[in-house]
Chains A and B, each alone.
Chain A
């Protein structure tokens, strides 16, 4: 708040190039919504986040312009067009306070965490990750968050905990219904325990130096950079330790097209298109897709001996 008066950093912030409209629509809502003002989290809504550290796991590739990152999204709860979430989402998730995450399943003490508690689990860091969509476009996001493992380690899993299942927020009154979107809501995803515990798997609370915009999955999402984008579930409200491979939304919608693992793999085609290339937005020319989205050194060993075509 004092940043307006005391300008510590003379450099250009990401928000300086953010289209006014986003901010106006949020501010307008903040002004109108007493619910939001009453929330203890108000101070964090649409404010700067200062990550404690940069990460050696970051790529040095060019970061996608914020305008694109917030206006070209797949978030079917807010519309199936890529431009829809940027128009429909702002303000909708922000008003859901208090935001709680229920952690349950094969653990000794199930518990519901408030967003403030989640934010305090581990120091925030910035991770600049490649993000490869199954639709053959990619971006580079400066995420802010901490390893998901830090949260999972707070719970004592039973011997049966082999996978972690996630569930997104869904409100059929303010969001698109399952029928219109063509996929079941609430959106669900899952990871094998070793994938969930992997240091690259990030629990994200912000991007571009600020809290997450609603269209990017506010207030809490995953970034699993070696998998296709839909694995990085948005707006998480439930985390469940489970014994069996949990159902995942896109796999349920079309199991021949979207597998459980969904590792980025140029050698395994989507039935309707080749995955050999991708377009790094806003580039016009495509570039070659790299196996595991270029994170093979860190994650390939998780899949030793597995047939990645069968387990696509």
Chain B
């Protein structure tokens, strides 16, 4: 008898849940995606978009509509598109921006107008600390995170004296600060290169002469490709460490053998062992005919986060929707994932090694760099 009433109660609860889910889903959600689809940085935007769209397609939820526009990697165009999305398309949620400087241009104004912004890539410190906002969620990482893990890995690897370099712009300075926050050894030399520089002969000569036992570098995109090819050809054999931005699936094929064996840090990799990730890697390959990158995984997670909140609450009820987002009740392809008080991720950050599988260059996880890492700025954020 008891069991039966329990079952009945359970069934009633399920029915209730289903009903509430249904009623919540009845309210459509419109997402505006502003991302980079043309020019040199287009690969990242295409990956975020494809990951996002894959999740949306798999959910088959007709209440979710997405508008995608190209920001050309220009801050003023991004602002204009945000105005268009808000004023003309009347979207509920904005997402998609790849670059910190574009995020800084769009996010404060969008959240001030009561829109949600979910960052699938950029995580500038200004938006994680004092400038945090209740409508701003970061689904990727705070900018310093991967560099911090690289610092922690350098300790584990026994490096005593390292040479560090990054481009001369705010994200580059944050990278070196993040690395030094965890690295306990000595910094042999600290170099800032020109943004967009592609010839690193002068820097490699300095690395050779520095007497360092290892090198940490943050050179995203084409800068990283150029650096690694030139480093491999220079005869200098000090081990390299870097964040995943120079080792993502999109550019590894362009670097080729020069990247083999290099250690890099990332919150995601295709061999993270969970069902969501396995399904993601398989379906992404089937859909687009290439391996997903970490950017694609971030886009995929962003869409699933939105879908999970849609199942819980009505987007027009901002407080309820915010609570649902903050609960992060979705199966992240990274495994464990939760939000810190400043609504940035708390997650594990892994150390990967570049390997060759058949003809394809890719990454393999070798250890965990940082466990359940939040970020250094959460204390300055007024959110609770």
Are A and B physically bound partners? no
